[in-house]
Structure 1
Amino acid sequence: MKFAYRFSNLLGAVYRQGNLNFSKDGNAVISPVGNRISIFDLKNNTSETLPISTTKNITCVGISPNGNLAIVVDEDGAALLVSLITRAILHHFHFHKPVHSISFSPDGRKFVVTKENVALMYHAPGKQREFNAFVLDKSYYGPYDETTCIDWTTDSKCFAVGSKDMSTWVFGAERWANLIYYSLGGHKDVIVGCFFEKDSLDLYTVSQDGTLCIWESDTEPDGLVLSKKRLQREEQEGNEDDEESMEGQEGEIVRGKAHTQKDKENTKNVRYKQASKHFFNKEGDFNNLTSAAFHKPTHILVTGFASGIFHLHELPEFNLIHSLSISNQRIASVAINSSGDWIGFGCSRLGQLLVWEWQSESYVFKQQGHFNNMASLAYSPDGQYIATGGDDGKVKVWNSNSGLCFVTFTEHSSSVSQVTFTSSGMVVVSASLDGTVRAFDLHRYRNFRTFTSPRPAQFSSLAVDVSGDLVCAGAQDSFEIFLWSMQTGRLLEVLGGHEGPVSSLCFSPVQSILASASWDKTVRLWDMLDSWQVKETLALTSDGLAVTYRPDGQELAVATLNGEISFWSPQSAAQTGSVTGRHDLELGRKETDKVTAKQTAKGKSFTSVCYSADGEAILAGGQSKFVCIYNVKEQMLMKKFEISCNLSFDAMEEFLDRRKMTEFGSLALVDDGAGDGEGVNISLPGVRKGDMSSRHFKPEIRVSSLRFSPTGRSWAATSTEGLLIYSLDGSMVFDPYDLDLDVTPESIHKQLRLKEWTSAIVLAFRLNERALKQEVIETVPHDQIGVVCGSLPEIYVEKLLGFIASCLEKSGHLQFYMSWAQSLLMLHGQKLKNRSGAILPTLQALQKAIQRHYDSLSKLCDFNKYNIRYAVALSKQRGVKRVAEEAAGEEDEEDEDDLSEERSEASVEEAEMIL
């Protein structure tokens, strides 16, 4: 389907809240971003957002030891069981209360969830399909306040739970006779982390006030003894089925040695004693210890503080290895990868994610999103880059392929209202409310032009013409449009005439004509070639909010305040049609609204519009969770996308929850009062219940900017969640084609051994597993590529060409994959030409990959060429110098010979005189 766009990736946000996790191999960070999960591949420097979402923001994530499963829990306790292999949701569950932490046992058979003051142990989901994948095994009670953290022993026999009541509890995962539970004190603040030593019951506990307690156990893990009831139950199960009993005994051997009554009588209860107590360097009450992680094989403890400092200590000696300040905000989460080399840090207030390699003291990964709302976005002409501007005054440029930001410009001192690329794609221009328009160079990453107005003005709109020579910005306070030259940086003209703030500007793609929309209910067309005069004035029915040209310049679309999108012909200045989109927005109702969502929608409208690449459709979004695609010719709604289902945002629900209604009105408008029982006080804006000095911010869902990519294969939207990418090229992990029982990896490898290259490629593409396809293609000898391409069935040519394009983008085997592409295009060029429309995206992807390698290699070759020239010139210079030195040396020798001859003649004369 033409509009079958699906969610592809989330950019502009890398971390919000919750705990970080590393993948099993330690090469990827799994980070919760709002109500979604993003995976950042540190080896390949790419990011991926899973196509799953919870109903509210995610608070904790648990990863199974084999790295195949993840349990994701949101603020209300709703849990999802997710397969990290297929990216699919396997099971839904609800814990009915907020969950503080979740942890799998090292053997992968159990997992523990802490909520309120209870620890719940569940059987881990298995490979078989189950009606309920979450089977409760035991409930553990002990702490008097909310639990905060969990840690397992290496052999999965016991686990420890930290609590806000300043105590740590050690529980047995089985019914041990000598360890039912054990409570540890010694702290004066909330327990942040508790960690077992490797292959031991020794324990480390860390509290919020910066105290570390080291606890030693008098029992080894092998000294734990099963209780009598547990032994009797095992014996009964063993008598029922001999085969099962043998398997059960093998599985239970590691859980305890003593199986006889005599051994049980000789066992003593497990006891702990405090071996030592250490204190971290404190700089006042604000520097609380907020997060901790411990790597058992290397005995490294990492602690993060509220001031943005982290420490590395070696335990149990408590030797300080390293200390660094990474930000000025609270470190919310710390994680260590499996090898212990990389440490991940998450700062929730800044939306920052860092990965630090402590041995080399360098950043492996450093990303930060806009920590305020995004205001605008722009695609580069080739679609490789996306520039965004935010209310934090930053301009960021993202790689659309990797999903990562590679440069941030911080020159603006106020909100960035608009960003755009020039036609060359190497210059980003941004307008800001600080009264400046700045141009940034993507070659040298610098601000090389700054445009200002004679009087300070807040610029709310921006446009650059096709040649990249003219830059214009509209002011929202002086109602004027300022025009500058990109070459000289001088102000060329001030265009006056609007009687309201200028809300949007757009240059025609084919002519030098500027369209400006204003709140004065007009759109003016300015001729840049004829003394910058007004060519036409289009009268609107309401305030103009956004204006855009069709890619061929033959039509103009204007979004107005009454929720309509009107279409105009620039040549005749006549309206050709309109779309009423107010009812398509389907606005939600805020918690504090006193009118219904239907009444609220009457005052809402589209704030951003954008034509598709072919000009047949228009994309529109505004203060709503929906983005609409309209057919321009038919003037009807084609598809509507819900960009978010996150109830943690405001204005998401259409109807008010009656459970939140009281006799005084909505609970969102009512505060609990001062506690003296004299009635209910209306709270101040932003103040939540409890502490009157604390602020609570619940952002409203909205779409501030929309853009289609130049290829038309994807579109992007800046929203409250971040930068959302919707694409037609949704990659699936397993998507077989024409599959039957004979198509297996074994049969493919058999064809490879028989050197049947063509049939092996066909079978691999029918099974459609990426790793297998790459293995088959790279096994084909280089001299057989032409033969294989010539004998390939026509239906697989396009599939193979698309796969070659995707491999060429990341692979280092340039000549090999270029040979494949050349052979396919030369041998099947005529057939592909007949299907040029369908295969155009594949050819564009191939061209983009080749151009990317060409740019990088050309830079490298130029660098090497100049280095070689420098080395040659230097060697020549040294050679000339050496020749000169040798010549000077010969002259010195001749002078010495003459001097010696003179001395010998003088000595002969002296001898003759003496005689």
Structure 2
Amino acid sequence: MKFAYRFSNLLGTVYRRGNLHFTPDGNCVISPVGNRITIFDLKNNKSETLPLATRHNITCVGLSPDGSLAILVDEEGAALLVSLIGKSVIHQFHFQKPVHCVCFSPDGRKFVITKDNVALMYHAPGKKREFNAFVLDKTYYGPYDETTCIDWTDDSKCFAIGSKDMSTWVFGAERWVNLIYYSLGGHKDAIVACFFEENSLDLYTISQDGALCVWQCDTDLDGLKPRPPKDRAEDKNESIEDLGEEFIEEPKGEEIHGKATTNEKERRDKVKYSRAAKYFFNKEGDFNNLTSAAYHKKMHLLVTGFASGIFHLHELPEFNLIHSLSISDQRIATISINCTGDWIAFGCSGLGQLLVWEWQSESYVLKQQGHFNSMVSLAYSPDGQYLVTGGDDGKVKVWNTSSSFCFVTFTEHTSSISAVTFTSTGYVILSASLDGTVRAFDLHRYRNFRTFTSPRPAQFSCLAVDSSGEIISAGSQDSFDIFVWSMQSGRLLDVLSGHEGPISSLCFNPMKSILASASWDKTVRLWDMFDSWRTKETLTLNSDVLVVAFRPDGNELAVAALDGQITFWDHENAVQTGSIEGRHDLQMGRKELDKITAKQSAKAKSFTTLCYSADGQSILAGGLSKFVCIYHVKEQILMKKFEISCNLSLDAMEEYLDRRKMTEFGSMALIDDGAGDEDGVAIALPGVKRGRSWAATTTEGLLIYSLDSGLIFDPFELDIDITPSSVRKVLSQKEYTMAIVMAFRLNEKKLIQEVIETIPCNEVDVVCSSLPELYVEKVLEFLASALETSHHLEFYLTWTQRLLMLHGQKLKTRSGKLLPMIQFLQKSIQRHFEDVSKLCEWNRYNIKYALAISQQRGMKRPAETSVSEEELEESNSDYLMEDATTHS
């Protein structure tokens, strides 16, 4: 249970590639983020990344009409059928080739996928359990080039597909006498999108050169005539000579060929299309191609996106321009409209940007963007509510761990960020950059209020701040010096010299005024900040030192070197107390251009980041690897290893050489100039651990792993007599202390919540004083988790206050082990404090405003009934507590 960390969320990547979808209620956006999908809840301002992943990057997503199922297809054509309710994989399937588009029918009974120039229609999974979830129904042939888009009629009788050969094909989803297929031309470029009109066979087609064709059909949907079933032998002989050799592997299903011949009588009775109009979008230049489009059938609203970042809103069929706005300078890759037609979602793959625009009010509902380049450093705030990240793009971003959204971005740096950290207060962020500055940012006013520089320009590679937040130090990678500044005055206090190589890491002792510095000169130096900045001790290692970290109690120092070893030191006596050989645990993958196996390349790798757990018993280590390891410090053994990613679209993920990617001229990565440019190369995995969760910056984004024990039955000292009924019986007899003890021994969260919330407020003091010491920690841990979601704020705060007041002295003796739980409790209380304080200020402002308005209108109250400032605060606090307990 101690190391039962599970994937919790993905921050920093909001969109990578593929298509966006709104959920049927229109309140959430489903976005592909690499080989995972994230659901952005726009109503509650939260996001969640599902704990499932494909083997490669997701290229297309199909959502069922009821929003319960989704089909995720990756670059290689491997598909996952996912339950969005259970957040689990139901079925796996492989289409053998890359899939361009997948779309469910409006009735949810079928779905169509397109690959190469073929459309395949499958029976969609039903509500009952089925042995095979994907059953092929029909195969449709017609286009001569790759297919690009799919759209269904409202009654699911027909569907249309667009192709790069500039044609659009309309197929019957069932056997119709007057419609087998229909081909539409009229365009001079590849088809980007095609849309049926509401409850009609009328069609709109849009091409890449910005042309819109309006097609009218002479037949209504009710005019389609069903064909009687044919003999199966006749089906097998129909147009067999037109079957392409590459599609013989499709084992089942009927085949519909766009090249079948018909006689003259059937041709006269068939569905006919005529072009009613052709429109052209205003283009700014030759390279401003139309890249994506979406259509809302009920509102007749067409949204088109272009390569220049401009999008247009038109009303069809009159083609009236409503808006023409620019949201980015990058190509708009995908567009989606919610069910009400109010919100429009845009995805820009070039910037990794996701935007949700409310077009009627012309305002952003959501605007999120990750780091443009690699994310290289991160730090937790002291209370665990926020995460700060720094990237190679020179930006510093602050993320809320509860909502998973970035709420502020600082862009003052002009070069790559090398290190970020919080001060002990949690309201100041420090960042070091290769541009030669260290900057301090205020989270109250969101501004850069201090800039620290060196006398001569230097590139800062590492950063540290002492526990008081008053002394800032940064190491240089070119002058080999350490610079020390005062936070209060901003002055340079001293320059520490002595290292003979670039400074790789700095760390202050949490309990003493000692600074540890690591360098490529194979030494770790300890500096006493009170003794004229002189070197207190020098630790010599066998290899270049990459990172140092102090244990939370300050009595031990961990050092990671280039030889892959983690060594532990008693820095007071300069004695090594232990070491861990971690090179074998890294398990590197081989890069595309490597000429050696992954096993051989791992021999030259090492850990690049270290972080102690809050109790100091374990250490978290990560490096240029897809694994993050947790080691037990005292026993010096590997406790658990976490696989950060299984995405084979990233470089250095494969273990063995893939012969399919080799040619007589060498690796295909050398031949294809664009290989690997889209997704980047795997980078270091700095991890930070804060008790119940830890985070790692990766190529895919900011990954958060947390303890999730909600679904695990883990009883504590359980007896055969302890059952939910016996707990409720003791509770009904008002033996509250015994009921709490029995509930915690059974260890079911809902039962514990029921017991604690049944205890009257006037009995809390008595129960807390009689609670056994062993269960005080368990009750506090439960209160911390309950405060995150419960509406009974005052009730749980009363419990917390009484437990800490009565048992605080006893808990101090076990402060090291209790630190994660206390930090968890502090995080929950701090979040409520911020929410309630904002509400309090808003209420005070409204009351003062109402009083000022009434006085201006001459409706002053008599002197004896005037409201004083003290009465105002008292009434507001009463209202506030009442409001918090009911609506928290």
- Same-fold status (TM-score > 0.5): yes
Alignment of 1:149-188 (within 5 A): 149-188=149-188
Q: By how many angstroms is 1:576 displaced?
A: 1.2
Structure 1 residues 803 and 66, CA gap change in structure 2 (3 angstroms): farther
Report whether the alignment pairs 1:316 with 2:317.
yes
Match of 1:706 in 2: 687
Residue pair 1:8, 1:730 contacting (<8 A) in 2 also: no
Structure 1 residues 164 and 406, CA gap change in structure 2 (3 angstroms): same
Match of 1:426 in 2: 427
CA deviation map 1:625-677 (0-9, x unaligned): 111111111111111111010000111112101333344443334x3xxxxxx
Residue pair 1:517, 1:524 contacting (<8 A) in 2 also: yes
Match of 1:389 in 2: 390
For residues 866 and 341 of structure 1, the distance between their equivalents in structure 2, rounded to whole angstroms, comes to 32
For residues 337 and 284 of structure 2, the distance between their equivalents in structure 1, rounded to whole angstroms, comes to 26
For residues 311 and 781 of structure 1, the distance between their equivalents in structure 2, rounded to whole angstroms, comes to 58
Match of 2:369 in 1: 368
Q: By how many angstroms is 1:212 displaced?
A: 0.8
Structure 1 residues 870 and 104, CA gap change in structure 2 (3 angstroms): closer
Q: Which of structure 1's runs of 4+ aligned residues deviate more than 4 A?
A: 230-233, 264-267, 734-738, 765-770, 780-787, 793-808, 823-847, 866-883
Residue pair 2:335, 2:344 contacting (<8 A) in 1 also: yes
Q: By how many angstroms is 1:849 displaced?
A: 3.2
CA deviation map 1:149-197 (0-9, x unaligned): 0000000000000100011000000010000000001111111110001
Match of 1:680 in 2: none
Q: By how many angstroms is 1:64 displaced?
A: 0.5
For residues 444 and 191 of structure 1, the distance between their equivalents in structure 2, rounded to whole angstroms, comes to 49
Q: By how many angstroms is 1:366 displaced?
A: 1.0
Report whether the alignment pairs 1:489 with 2:465.
no
Q: By how many angstroms is 1:846 displaced?
A: 5.1
Secondary structure at 2:269 match in 1: coil
Q: What residue identity is the alignment partner of 1:559?
A: A
For residues 748 and 183 of structure 2, the distance between their equivalents in structure 1, rounded to whole angstroms, comes to 54
- The equivalent position to 1:819 in structure 2, one of 783, 791, 795, is 795
Q: By how many angstroms is 1:291 displaced?
A: 0.7
Residue pair 2:539, 2:574 contacting (<8 A) in 1 also: yes
Q: By how many angstroms is 1:702 displaced?
A: 3.2
Alignment of 1:783-862 (within 5 A): 808-809=787-788, 813=791, 816-819=792-795, 822=798, 845=824, 847-862=826-841
Secondary structure at 1:112 match in 2: strand
For residues 27 and 714 of structure 2, the distance between their equivalents in structure 1, rounded to whole angstroms, comes to 28
For residues 320 and 28 of structure 1, the distance between their equivalents in structure 2, rounded to whole angstroms, comes to 27
Match of 1:358 in 2: 359
Residue pair 1:797, 1:824 contacting (<8 A) in 2 also: no
For residues 829 and 532 of structure 2, the distance between their equivalents in structure 1, rounded to whole angstroms, comes to 44
Match of 1:241 in 2: none
Match of 1:724 in 2: 703
Residue pair 1:549, 1:557 contacting (<8 A) in 2 also: yes
Q: By how many angstroms is 1:879 displaced?
A: 7.6
Gaps of 5+ in 1: 234-263, 672-682, 689-694, 739-746, 748-755, 884-915
CA deviation map 1:282-308 (0-9, x unaligned): 011221111111111111111111111
Residue pair 1:785, 1:823 contacting (<8 A) in 2 also: no
Moved more, 851-860 or 100-109: 851-860
CA deviation map 1:381-411 (0-9, x unaligned): 0011000000011000001111111111011
Q: Figure out how many residues of one structure are paired with residues of the other and give that number.
A: 804
Secondary structure at 1:99 match in 2: coil
Structure 1 residues 294 and 797, CA gap change in structure 2 (3 angstroms): farther
Q: By how many angstroms is 1:211 displaced?
A: 0.9
Match of 1:292 in 2: 293
Q: By how many angstroms is 1:19 displaced?
A: 0.4
Report whether the alignment pairs 1:617 with 2:618.
yes
Structure 1 residues 652 and 331, CA gap change in structure 2 (3 angstroms): same
Match of 1:126 in 2: 126
* Percentage identity across paired residues of the two chains: 70
Moved more, 96-105 or 584-593: 584-593
Match of 1:901 in 2: none
Alignment of 1:444-455 (within 5 A): 444-455=445-456
Match of 2:597 in 1: 596
Structure 1 residues 667 and 796, CA gap change in structure 2 (3 angstroms): same
For residues 840 and 615 of structure 1, the distance between their equivalents in structure 2, rounded to whole angstroms, comes to 10
Alignment of 1:610-689 (within 5 A): 610-669=611-670, 671=671, 686=673
Q: What residue identity is the alignment partner of 1:72?
A: L
Residue pair 1:166, 1:189 contacting (<8 A) in 2 also: yes
Secondary structure at 1:851 match in 2: helix
For residues 522 and 804 of structure 2, the distance between their equivalents in structure 1, rounded to whole angstroms, comes to 56
Q: What residue identity is the alignment partner of 2:100?
A: H
Q: By how many angstroms is 1:579 displaced?
A: 1.1
Secondary structure at 1:228 match in 2: coil
Secondary structure at 2:695 match in 1: strand
Q: What residue identity is the alignment partner of 2:175?
A: R
Residue pair 2:632, 2:638 contacting (<8 A) in 1 also: yes
Alignment of 1:238-257 (within 5 A): none
Q: By how many angstroms is 1:560 displaced?
A: 0.6
Report whether the alignment pairs 1:478 with 2:460.
no
Match of 2:15 in 1: 15
Q: Which protein has the larger Cα radius of gyration, Structure 1 or Structure 2?
A: 1
For residues 153 and 303 of structure 1, the distance between their equivalents in structure 2, rounded to whole angstroms, comes to 20
Structure 1 residues 870 and 105, CA gap change in structure 2 (3 angstroms): closer
Gaps of 5+ in 2: 234-264, 717-724, 726-733, 863-888
Residue pair 2:343, 2:357 contacting (<8 A) in 1 also: yes
Structure 1 residues 552 and 737, CA gap change in structure 2 (3 angstroms): closer
Residue pair 1:785, 1:819 contacting (<8 A) in 2 also: no
Q: By how many angstroms is 1:781 displaced?
A: 11
CA deviation map 1:200-237 (0-9, x unaligned): 0011111111111111100000000011326999xxxx
Q: By how many angstroms is 1:596 displaced?
A: 2.4
Q: CA RMSD in A?
A: 3.8
Structure 1 residues 53 and 697, CA gap change in structure 2 (3 angstroms): same
Q: By how many angstroms is 1:847 displaced?
A: 4.7
Q: By how many angstroms is 1:578 displaced?
A: 1.2
Q: What residue identity is the alignment partner of 1:283?
A: E
Residue pair 1:510, 1:553 contacting (<8 A) in 2 also: yes
For residues 588 and 390 of structure 1, the distance between their equivalents in structure 2, rounded to whole angstroms, comes to 24
For residues 535 and 805 of structure 1, the distance between their equivalents in structure 2, rounded to whole angstroms, comes to 42
Structure 1 residues 267 and 228, CA gap change in structure 2 (3 angstroms): farther
Residue pair 1:335, 1:343 contacting (<8 A) in 2 also: yes
For residues 466 and 472 of structure 2, the distance between their equivalents in structure 1, rounded to whole angstroms, comes to 7
Match of 1:240 in 2: none
Q: By how many angstroms is 1:858 displaced?
A: 2.5
Q: What residue identity is the alignment partner of 1:175?
A: R
Structure 1 residues 528 and 123, CA gap change in structure 2 (3 angstroms): same
Secondary structure at 1:198 match in 2: coil
Match of 2:873 in 1: none
Residue pair 2:588, 2:625 contacting (<8 A) in 1 also: yes
Q: What residue identity is the alignment partner of 1:707?
A: V
Q: By how many angstroms is 1:731 displaced?
A: 5.7
Q: By how many angstroms is 1:819 displaced?
A: 2.8
Q: By how many angstroms is 1:605 displaced?
A: 0.9
